[in-house]
């Protein structure tokens, strides 16, 4: 979000919204896919940059890191999607679309997953309150999902079963949107953590964007094995 007091703030907000809508449509067509993903990546990079001052002001505050990480996750997804599209189009190679930058993007994504895991532990009570009421042991689920976020992130960073880790992370993020945000539109009375419908839509979209970023990471690891490689026997 743009800081209050930014000149022409509403113009920037609506302009960015229109650019994102156009880029989203552009992703559906081969000729405009690469410019569109670059537009989305530029937006997320700007959002991450705007979020850095509050991190510098409160580096040990988890809340200060949330906007940055929620921008960095889709930024890495856009970055990786750009690399995949460039490879498919067989365009000229560049340093930003090479294998080293692909690994860096995956590692940054893994770091954001670790952050999400840490936040589950830091706000375990709030997280447990968002777990559907029909599930037992809600606090345990909050801790378990936090551990899963962190474990998936670490696995992606160090390269231990990264394809499996990224896929499970994507499934978990998708399930969060389906089990938490979607039902919240129909709950009466509305839970204490549920905000106004307009904000609920924003939360749902953010969750879906994070999940899509995770799915892109998983797709980029399609050539990796689901399990540990078996060692050849020494005759």
DSSP codes joined into one string, 68-104: HHHHHHHHHHHHHHHHHHHHHHTPPP-GGGSHHHHHH
Cβ atoms within 10 Å, residue 234? 4
Tell me how far apart the alpha carbons of residues 88 and 204 are, in angstroms, rounded to a whole number.
31
Alpha helices in the chain (DSSP H): 9-26, 30-57, 62-89, 99-122, 124-130, 138-158, 162-176, 182-184, 197-220
Which comes out higher in pLDDT, residue 234 or 47?
Answer: 47
129-133, 139-143, 228-232: least confidently modelled range: 228-232
Helix (H) or strand (E) holding 233: none
The answer to the question of residue 212 being in a domain is: yes
Please, what is the angle between helix 197-220 and helix 62-89, to 10°?
50
The answer to the question of residue 43 being in a domain is: no
The answer to the question of residue 166 being in a domain is: yes
The answer to the question of residue 52 being in a domain is: no
Q: Is 204 helix (H, G, I), strand (E, B) or coil?
A: helix
Is 64's pLDDT higher than 70? yes
Tell me how far apart the alpha carbons of residues 151 and 148 are, in angstroms, rounded to a whole number.
5
The answer to the question of residue 30 being in a domain is: no
Altogether, the residues listed in the chain come to a count of 235
CA dihedral 97, 98, 101, 106 (to 10 degrees): 90
Which comes out higher in pLDDT, residue 190 or 176?
Answer: 176
The answer to the question of residue 194 being in a domain is: yes
Full residue range of the structural domain in which residue 174 is found: 62-220
The answer to the question of residue 31 being in a domain is: no
Tell me how far apart the alpha carbons of residues 106 and 82 are, in angstroms, rounded to a whole number.
13
Backbone Cα Rg of the chain: 19
Is 118's pLDDT higher than 70? yes
Q: Once rounded to an integer, what is the mean pLDDT over residues 37-43?
A: 96
Is 28's pLDDT higher than 90? yes
Q: Is 229 helix (H, G, I), strand (E, B) or coil?
A: coil
Is 48's pLDDT higher than 60? yes
The answer to the question of residue 18 being in a domain is: no
How many structural domains are present in the chain? 1
């Amino acid at each position: 979000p743009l800081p209050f007091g930014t000149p022409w703030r509403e113009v920037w907000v609506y302009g960015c919204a229109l650019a994102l809508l156009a880029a989203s449509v552009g992703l559906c067509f081969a000729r405009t896919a690469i410019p569109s993903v670059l537009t989305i990546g530029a937006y997320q990079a700007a959002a991450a940059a705007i979020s850095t001052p509050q991190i510098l002001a409160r580096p040990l505050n988890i809340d200060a890191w949330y906007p940055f990480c929620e921008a960095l996750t889709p930024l890495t997804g856009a970055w990786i999607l750009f690399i995949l599209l460039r490879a498919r189009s067989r365009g000229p190679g560049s340093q930003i679309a090479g294998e080293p930058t692909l690994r860096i993007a995956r590692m940054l994504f893994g770091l954001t997953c670790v952050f999400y895991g840490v936040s589950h532990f830091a706000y375990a009570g709030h997280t447990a309150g968002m777990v559907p009421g029909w599930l037992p042991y809600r606090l345990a689920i909050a801790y378990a999902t936090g551990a899963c976020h962190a474990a998936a992130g670490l696995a992606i960073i160090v390269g231990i079963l990264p394809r499996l880790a990224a896929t499970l992370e994507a499934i978990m993020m998708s399930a969060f949107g389906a089990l938490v945000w979607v039902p919240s539109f129909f709950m009466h009375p509305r839970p204490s953590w549920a905000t106004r419908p307009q904000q609920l839509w924003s939360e749902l979209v953010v969750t879906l964007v994070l999940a899509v970023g995770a799915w892109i990471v998983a797709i980029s690891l399609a050539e990796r094995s689901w399990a540990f490689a078996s060692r050849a026997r020494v005759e």
